[in-house]
Amino acid sequence: MVMATGESFVDRRSGSRHVWFLNSAFDKISMDVALRRITEREAASPFAFVVTPNVDHLVRLETDTVLATLYAQAWLTVCDSRVLELIGKISGETIDVTPGSDLTARLFDTVIDPHQPVTIIGGSQAVIDAVTQRYGLTDVRWHEPPMGLRHNREAVEACAKFVADNPSRFTFFCVGSPQQEMIAEACLDHGGCTGVGLCVGASLDFLAGAAQRAPVWMQKSRLEWLHRLVQEPTRMWRRYLVEGPKILLLWRRWRKTRRSMRELEMALGAPEKVKERNLHLRLRDLERQLATRD
């Protein structure tokens, strides 16, 4: 079943819309709500993009200032990692999980009209053909950028131009991070792009059968990383065995900072501090009154 395009989105949330965890802001929305927000956005709306940070992204955010700037411009930031969800839970923070692969699958399964255009940046010819055949797509606009995209500004801008010249309700960026976020930023800068861009990495590879996701029990056990490590040890060993554990250092620092902030809040809320602030306010008010009389 394909969901119809709804009316313009009305924000129904109350309270804070984000939770700041470790070194990134996450939208406080479930996968269902994220899907609805994406679906309710009109195809002709100004371009906006979705990012799906995981452990690897947060570790790189510490040293990659480019990635941090790109993330700050995202329309939606949803958590791709059940490991981050677990760390958040231990810390008393609720981090909703919306894996990019699941979000992509649900869009193709329940939202995308096979007769409407779909724009894809990245992926291989075999992947595009397989996804096209699986979902009966009739209008796929595909652009395959060159290698070395991160250090090729002209190629990044060419991707943005392709998105502008091939408007679709949904554009999928499948060139890895931070290249896909760089293209999304270029689409914002271009000014002529519309719809929603989704930075979803290898998600189309899973839909095409070019790569296999972990069994559901491994996903629920937060062991999907182990499945990918076993599948691609040469490519993934450093990410999961060297860089990934650095998330624990970020967590330790975040907990220390949060504890210090809470101690400061308690100190500022002490009765003597409250009296001191009230006295300062009264003195400032009196000074204003005297100045008015003069």
Confidence at residue 225, expressed as pLDDT on a 0 to 100 scale:
84
Distances (CA, A) of 75 to 13, 47, 200, 247, 268: 15, 9, 14, 24, 35
Residue position matching structure tokens 């930075």: 199
Classify burial at 118, counting beta carbons within 10 Å of its beta carbon; exposed 0-12, middle 13-18, buried 19 or more: buried
Nearest by Cα to 79 from 222, 226, 258, 231: 222
pLDDT of residue 14: 43
Decide: pTM greater than 0.85: no
> For every one of its 294 residues, what pLDDT tens digit does the chain have, with 9 covering 90 and above?
445 444 444 444 444 577 888 888 899 899 999 999 999 998 899 999 999 999 999 999 888 888 888 998 999 999 999 999 999 999 988 899 999 999 999 999 999 999 999 999 999 999 999 999 999 999 999 999 999 999 999 999 999 999 999 999 999 999 988 999 999 999 999 989 999 999 999 999 999 998 888 788 888 888 888 888 888 898 888 888 988 899 999 899 888 887 776 665 565 555 665 565 666 667 667 667 766 665
What is the predicted pLDDT for the residue at 19? Answer: 82
